[in-house]
Amino acid sequence: MKTKKEKGISRIDSGSTHGWFVRAYRNGRTYSRLFSDQKSGSKEEAYRLALEFRDKLYEKIGEIPKKPRSRRVVLRDSRNSTGVLGVCRTSKKSPNGTVNDCYSVSWRPEPGKQKCTSFSIRKYGEKKAFQLAVAHRKKMLKDIYGPAVLNRMKESQPDL
């Protein structure tokens, strides 16, 4: 693990490139610079210049206000077998030991928190359980992201 002194600085020794690389990020933008051993006069001098540049860069970046990160809405995944992300067909074991098939629905009301519910195929039938699961998923996404997300869902999943 890097120490505080080494944070943001990496050594590059590749082909004809030898030097210290300084990199920092703010609001999705990358700030970087390479300090060449040859142009600086020595490996040690390049490192000293890189440290100096990094410290000034961190001061400048610290003055830039952070923008809040936006939440990303994922609408497709190749591993999904039902055609609706967040809805899957699964089996649940009840306390008495019987196994029941259902459609499970999951969503994230806020970062780091996940919720789920399910709709029984035995109770509603295959088609109705799936429809209820999809409707519930759409309702949850609309509550979280607003009505515009439903238009994006229609574009990515036109058959629904």
Q: Which of 92, 108, 113 is nearest to 149 (CA)?
A: 108
Model confidence over 97-108: pLDDT tens digits?
A: 899 999 999 998
pLDDT at 147: 81
Parallel/antiparallel/unpaired status of strands 9-14 and 29-36: unpaired
Please list the alpha-helical segments (H only) found in 33-147.
Answer: 37-40, 43-63, 121-124, 126-145
Place of tokens 């196994």: 99
pLDDT at 141: 86
Q: Could you tell me the pTM of the whole model?
A: 0.51
pLDDT at 79: 73
Gap between the Cα atoms of 65 and 70, Å rounded: 15
Helical pair 148-156 and 126-145, crossing angle rounded to 10 deg: 130
